Amino acid sequence: MKTVLIIGVGQFGSHIAKRMSELHCEVMAVDTCEDRINEILPFVTNARIGDGTNEDFLRSLGIRDYDICIVALGGLFQSSLETTSLLSELGAKRVICRATNDVQMKFLLRNGADEVVYPEKQTALRIATKYASDSILDFISLDNNYSIYEMVVPKDWFGKTLAQIDIRKKYKVNILTVKRGNEVFIPAADTLFQPGDIAFVIGEVRDIQKCFKL
């Protein structure tokens, strides 16, 4: 069971807090707004009203005791930066911050963040990619090069085996699993593709685009 400190429980922070609680994490939620604390309290292990830019307040929380500290202060960038720096100085094991643009991301990483999430950009990228083609059902970016795509199997695969289409050799794309109706399975070399099959594939974006003619 992980212990998590979440500083800032607006929409973004509260969603994280509730989900991590559902996943059986011990969650401490912090915000300067009493109303937000009262709203989140039923869903978390504990919650306190306080300012993440106040070193004495942060010290009172026992920062070293948390496995993860999440700074979810949204548009309050100066506060995010100060809080991130203080968490790092107080010995936080891992600090994850929210940014709203690339410049913020760079500054947060320079000032103690171990990881920076950029939900607006990530969501925009996912939506744009997903709806750019009827063949793409979903999309997860792993880094700047590799991604996992949930793809409708092309018609020219129907009646052919995994060995026959051989996309790993031709395009350097790997099929992780196939979904057929309600069944999900790892395909074997002799698996025949059928109409309605959905493939979960991984590879470099440009290779997947070539493979599925996107």
Could you read off the pLDDT tens digit of each residue along the chain, which spans 214 residues?
A: 899 999 999 988 999 999 999 999 999 999 999 999 999 999 999 999 999 999 999 999 999 999 999 999 877 889 999 999 999 999 999 999 998 888 888 999 999 999 988 877 777 777 777 776 677 888 777 776 788 889 899 998 999 999 999 888 888 999 999 999 999 999 999 999 999 999 999 988 888 888 888 7
What phi, psi does 12 have (nearest 5°)? -65, -50
Helix, strand, or coil (residue 69): strand
Q: Domain 122-211 classified CATH 3.20.20.70?
A: no
Domain spans in the chain, listed from the N-terminal domain onward: 3-117, 122-211
Contact 24, 48 (CB under 8 A): no
pLDDT at 100: 84
- pTM for the structure as a whole: 0.70
Contact 116, 105 (CB under 8 A): yes
pLDDT at 132: 67
CATH of 3-117 among 3.30.530.20, 2.60.120.380, 1.10.150.240, 3.40.50.720:
3.40.50.720
pLDDT at 45: 95
